[in-house]
Homo-oligomer: A and B are copies of this chain.
């Protein structure tokens, strides 16, 4: 009826990939990077799926949403597929990221090496605590929250991480939107309301643990 195939690596117009596909894409990318580090040149849809618990058909279908990247009889060349997926996800470029909140968790995230590996650089931190503002953490300057708009405009930052207490999160989000931010990674355990044109991903650590206890209890109960 309708087809999604094309050669360009850009999504075809006629049916957007399901959100679930995008989250698997990130996992494929991570596996491929491990494979390259281990010296592997190619992999197959079944090889890639196996470790992640997906079927070979699903892996092929997911990738086929965006084009033809495999080689019949051979599989997928890791070094070839990696930049393709990065292009789809938008991590083929460097993204400067702002972080709001320099508490415990914020500082830990500043020290986290995994971001840089995927092209993210936290270039500005904002807080209101006078003992931190003006200093530098992990080489990143801590600005006063009052300077949010100025710094975000000057550094052309489009992505921000909210790492403030739940009660402050919505207010911070509103300021970020007004400052021109297009995507927010929210670590505060609240749902924040945002205009349509701004994307958000929420990470609630307690919720992740809840999901885990559910599985544990379910397995016990039979």
Residue numbers of A with Cβ under 8 A of B are: 22-23, 26-27, 29-31, 34, 51-52, 88-91, 95, 97, 104-105, 107-109, 111-112, 114-115, 117-118, 120, 158-159, 182-185, 189-191, 193, 197, 199-201, 203-217, 219-220
C-alpha gap A205/B111 in the complex (Å): 12
Contact of A89 among B91, B214, B219 (CB under 8 A): B214
Contacts of A213 in B (CB 8 A): 89-91, 95, 159, 183
In the complex, the answer to whether A206 meets B104 with C-beta atoms within 8 Å is: no
C-alpha gap A215/B88 in the complex (Å): 10
Chain B CB count within 10 A is highest, among A34, A190, A212, A219, for A212
Contacts of A214 in B (CB 8 A): 22, 88-90
Contact of A112 among B95, B97, B118, B205 (CB under 8 A): B205
Chain B CB count within 10 A is highest, among A30, A184, A204, A220, for A30
Beyond the given A91-B210, A120-B206, A159-B213, please list 11 additional residue pairs across the A-B interface where CB-CB is below 8 A: A26-B210, A88-B214, A89-B213, A105-B112, A108-B109, A109-B205, A114-B205, A117-B206, A185-B208, A201-B212, A201-B215
Q: Is the interface of A mostly helix, strand, loop or mixed?
A: helix
A109 nearest CB neighbor, chain B only: B205
With contact pairs A52-B191, A105-B108, A189-B114 given, residues A216 and B203 touching in the complex (Cβ less than 8 Å): no
Contacts of A159 in B (CB 8 A): 209, 212-213, 216
Contacts of A190 in B (CB 8 A): 30, 34
Contacts of A205 in B (CB 8 A): 109, 112, 114-115, 203
Chain B CB count within 10 A is highest, among A34, A158, A210, A220, for A210
C-alpha gap A159/B120 in the complex (Å): 31
Contact of A107 among B95, B108, B114 (CB under 8 A): B108
